[in-house]
Amino acid sequence: MVGSGPAGASAALLLATYGVRVRLVTKYGRLSDTPRAHITNQRTMEVLRDIGVEDQLMREATPWELMSNTTYCTSLAGEELGRVPSWGTDPGRHADYLQASPCSMVDAPQTITEPILVGEAQRRGAQIRFDTEYLSHTQDADGVTARLRDRLTGVEYDVRSQYLIGADGARSKVAEDLDLPFEGPGAVGGALGIIFEADLSRFVAHRPSVLYWMLQPGAEREGVGLGVLRMIKPWHEWMLMWGYDVAAGPPQFTDAFVRELAVKLVGTDDFEMKVTSTSPWTVNHHYATSLARGRVFCVGDAVHRHPPTNGLGSNTSIQDSYNLCWKLAHVLRGTAAQALLDSFDAERAPVARQIVERANQSIADTGRIMQALDLTDTSDVDLLDQRLAARKAPGPEGDKIRQALREAIAFKSYEFNAHGVEHNHRYASTAVVPDGTVMPAFARDPELYAQPTTWPGAKLPHAWVTRRGVKVSTLDLGGRGEFSVLTGIGGKPWVDAARALAAGIGITLRPVSIGPGEEFEDPYGTWAQVNEIEDGGVLLVRPDLYVAFRSVTAAPSDQAARELLGQALRAVLGHG
């Protein structure tokens, strides 16, 4: 594994948990020294729950209830243009989120996430090598030889492994060496990141949020659409984001320049600040259309490079690793054929494209706020002031602006409440066995609303069932690196088939029966509402909690159950 960001750290933890011998090398003598990714969505929390670190992250992260109130304003001390109740905190949306997952969203900067993932990976047996740089690799039919440099001594050496994962971020040398095909215009803008400590409680504690967006002269140029103050720790640590022209290069971060920007966005100079870090970064629009070659795989920003809008970066990176690692573990154990690994590319390359497009679209959508004020840019400060004043005027012109502004700000739900983007992936690959039915159409906007289904290729729906009266999520019935088989009353042939197949193939195939008098019961009836199978039907669930195969109806006989489940399992494992 190359890289200890969210992608590499989670892959190391997953593989170590699955019993794979893993070595992670990372360039610097430390983990991330800046907070960067922070929005941690429910799907990622489900992954962390499956590997047993959800609670650790919850303890250290900023909780869900402080993530609401994304605010559009002229400055923290200035005028408010509007707010977006975010990340599912709007009462009108909260139930959607609670129904979709047993997990909360949290705000966890990389400075919190990485030590948890890497520390736990190490405890579970992963070898971590700091100050070690990947230089190049060659691969043959049996393995990969990576050339590494110890950055403390300068000594170069080779490491031989069966597989190599490039989790080396947006400037991935592994992806470059693989010559992976990329699409998209590349660097489309520049942004400055300034991290500072300042007690800004008096401006924000009454409207807790992780993001405050500022309409200020020049704010819409480059960058992420407007000026931003992002909470890192409530309400004392902040990241300021402001655009710069990539062609011209970043400005000098002089003390005066940094202070001036901060004062502009806070809206007063009546506060003290201590700058802890400054860095320019590029707003990218770039994704790989193929994520692997032979024995080498790329995950995370190595293959999808996009702005932080929608908070999808580290989430998608961790989910790439979740998709890949169970497959690698099964191939390394000899229970799956190498062909299973091809499904990683087939399943995750479309996600890479989707999230890069989504994150960039969200920057473009911020332009609606300018349009609502009838502004093409903010260069004319008097005109900006006039338009802001017109918004407060009585009469039809003011009404029109107010209405347009409300709509433009509400439209930002595609950035801050894009629940469907986070949950609605439908995988199509050899690791999914179609059941001949057409994918259920989305009843609501697929970007905004998660729609559970057991259609093969979709994530197993969450429902609260009970075991001896205690609530358990259906997501807790599978995972942990193993397959599971979910059925109900009348599903005994599937349970017997699962037991026989597990013994025959040498894998764990956890049979789970849900119904009155079974090990798990469905007293709320929610599982029956979402499972889309008859009581005697079955779902074969992959270790990453995606449905691999289903039979809506009961098996006609014990033998048919064995044959159908066996065929499906062999197909998924690449033996078909």
Ligand X SMILES: Cc1cc2nc3c(=O)[nH]c(=O)nc-3n(C[C@H](O)[C@H](O)[C@H](O)COP(=O)(O)OP(=O)(O)OC[C@H]3O[C@@H](n4cnc5c(N)ncnc54)[C@H](O)[C@@H]3O)c2cc1C
Q: CB 570 → ligand X: shortest distance, Å?
A: 33
Cis peptide before 235 (omega within 30 of 0): yes
Tokens coding 249: 């290069």
What does the alpha-carbon distance between residue 209 and residue 197 come to, in Å, rounded to a whole number?
17
Kindly state whether residue 348 participates in binding ligand X, applying the rule CB under 6 A. Answer: no
78 lies in the site for ligand X, by CB under 6 A: no
Which residue has tokens 């179609």?
A: 434
Task: State yes or no: residue 313 binds ligand X (CB under 6 A).
Answer: yes
Q: What residues between 175 and 204 interact with ligand X by CB under 6 A?
A: 193
Q: Does 62 bind ligand X (CB under 6 A)?
A: no
Cβ proximity to ligand X, 5 vs 515, nearer residue: 5
165 vs 465, beta carbon nearer ligand X? 165
Which residues between 263 and 282 bind ligand X (CB under 6 A)? Answer: 281
Q: Which stretch binds ligand X (CB under 6 A): 32-40, 195-203, 364-372, 495-503?
A: 32-40
Binding mask 126-165 for ligand X (x = CB under 6 A): -------xx-------------------------------
Minimum Å distance from CB 67 to ligand X? Answer: 11
> Quick check: 475 binds ligand X (CB under 6 A)?
no
With contacts defined by CB under 6 A, how many residues of the chain interact with ligand X? 34
Determine, following the binding rule CB under 6 A, whether residue 413 of this chain makes contact with ligand X.
no
DSSP conformation class of 252 = P
Q: Which residue has the tokens 């979910």?
A: 486
Residues facing 472 on adjacent strands: 465
Other C-beta atoms closer than 10 Å to the C-beta of 171 total: 11
Q: CA angle, corner 279, sides to 314 and 5, nearest 5?
A: 25
Of all helices (H) and strands (E), which one includes residue 213?
A: strand 211-214
Q: Among residues 15, 20, 38, 266, which is the contact residue for ligand X, using CB under 6 A? A: 38
Contact range with ligand X by CB under 6 A, out of 313-321, 403-411, 506-514, 522-530: 313-321
222 is a contact residue toward ligand X (CB under 6 A): no
CA atoms 531, 532, 537, 538: torsion sign: negative
Find residue 127's DSSP bridge partners.
23
Contact between 315 and ligand X by CB under 6 A: the answer reads: yes
Q: Quick one: which of 78, 102, 300, 457 contacts ligand X (CB under 6 A)?
A: 300
Among 1, 128, 167, 373, binds ligand X (CB under 6 A): 167
Quick check: 1 and 25 in contact, CB under 8 A? yes
CA 380/CA 217 separation, integer angstroms: 8
Q: Give strand ranges (E) for 289-370.
A: 292-293, 296-298, 304-305
Nearer to ligand X among residue 4 and residue 75 (C-beta): 4
Tokens at 391, concatenated: 């918004």
How far is Cα 546 from Cα 487, in angstroms, rounded to an integer? 15
Spatial CA neighbour of 418 closest among 93, 46, 27, 143: 93
According to the binding rule CB under 6 A, does residue 323 interact with ligand X?
no
Out of 104, 317, 319, 366, the residue judged to bind ligand X by CB under 6 A: 317
Contact 242, 261 (CB under 8 A): yes
> Of 335 and 360, which CB lies nearer to ligand X in the complex structure?
360
Q: Does 168 bind ligand X (CB under 6 A)?
A: yes
| Torsion angle in degrees (nearest 10) through CA of 265, 277, 283, 180 | -170
Per rule CB under 6 A, is residue 420 in the interface with ligand X?
A: no
Q: Considering the rule CB under 6 A, would residue 39 count as an interface residue with ligand X?
A: yes
Where along the sequence are the contacts to ligand X (CB under 6 A)?
2-8, 25-28, 36-39, 110, 133-134, 167-169, 173, 193, 281, 300-302, 308, 311-315, 317
